[in-house]
Amino acid sequence: MRADRALGLALTVAAALFWATPFAWMFVASFREGLPVDIASLTPAGPFSFGNFASAWASGPFLIWYVNTIAMCGGILLVQIFTVSLAGYAFARLEFPGREAVFAGFLAQLLLIPPLLLEPNLATLVRLHLYDTLLGAMAPYFASAFGVFLMRQTFRSIPIDFEEAAKIEGAGPLAILWHVLLPMSRPALAAFAIISVTSHWNEFLWPLIVLSSPGHQVLTVGLASFASGVEAGSDWGVLAAGTLLVAGPLLLAFLAFQRRFVASFVASGLK
């Protein structure tokens, strides 16, 4: 038994080191200025400097990319919280014809490969005159099949006695949802928010297709154009600094709220 635990621990440590090595290289390279061959190694070759970050920031409109990315992720999350909560409540508590069939249709969306939806979504945005707008980039994500499933399961796990007590006090369905179910579902909402913001912060293909104006680009698309210019000069320190500017906020958020993140996933039943 001890041998199995030791082997599992060794494999876990090896996987963690394998996962962390690119981040360690990116972090060290971003703070070092020198020849590309020196930057490509992790051996110290002089004092660290913030010069690469200054060069990266000056080489691209990172402020605009940050604003667009935050607006896109925040807008998607706000609408998703509204839609998945209402749909989850409907599937968990309301009785209507075909409820299980409609819910199965929602779950079927999880089986679709995202690239299959690129063409119909793009055609819809063009017809609605939303192409090359942040609203158009956000619109396909306003509903989330995973979020509906998560909130349905969360609401069903809450004893119905709380709702019956609220009904005795004269509360309607929306009041019950707002004042009873949602406050008791905060761990699930936090877990969903983590997944939503992380996935859309890292989204690349869809914003690349639907956002063509430089002023509407998000961090991932902007980083790609920034990297193509930096790689021409093999300035790996500046490239690493630009990459850290994009990935840094998520890494800092994880380090700052690591315990809360884990608690949210455990409380919501996600693994």
The pLDDT tens digits for 74-109 are 999 999 999 999 999 989 888 888 888 888 888 888
Cβ–Cβ under 8 Å, residues 151 and 87: yes
Q: Which CATH number fits domain 50-268: 1.10.3720.10, 1.10.10.10, 1.20.1070.10, 1.20.1050.10?
A: 1.10.3720.10
What is the predicted pLDDT for the residue at 131? 93
Tokens of 5: 């635990």
The pLDDT tens digits for 220-240 are 998 888 877 655 456 777 888
Tokens of 38: 């020196």
Question: Percent of the chain scored above 90 by pLDDT?
Answer: 25
Q: Where does the chain show beta strands of DSSP type E?
A: none
Burial (Cβ within 10 Å: 0-12, 13-18, ≥19) of residue 56 = buried
What is the predicted pLDDT for the residue at 44? 47
Domain limits of the chain?
Answer: 50-268
Q: How far is CA 103 from CA 107, 153, 182, in A?
A: 6, 12, 20
Tally Cβ neighbours within 10 Å of residue 223. 23
The pLDDT tens digits for 114-161 are 788 888 999 999 999 999 999 999 999 998 889 999 899 889 888 888
In which band, very low, low, confident or very high, does the pLDDT at 37 lie, cut at 50, 70 and 90?
very low
Q: Which has the closest alpha carbon to 145: 123, 118, 112, 184?
A: 112
In which band, very low, low, confident or very high, does the pLDDT at 39 lie, cut at 50, 70 and 90?
low
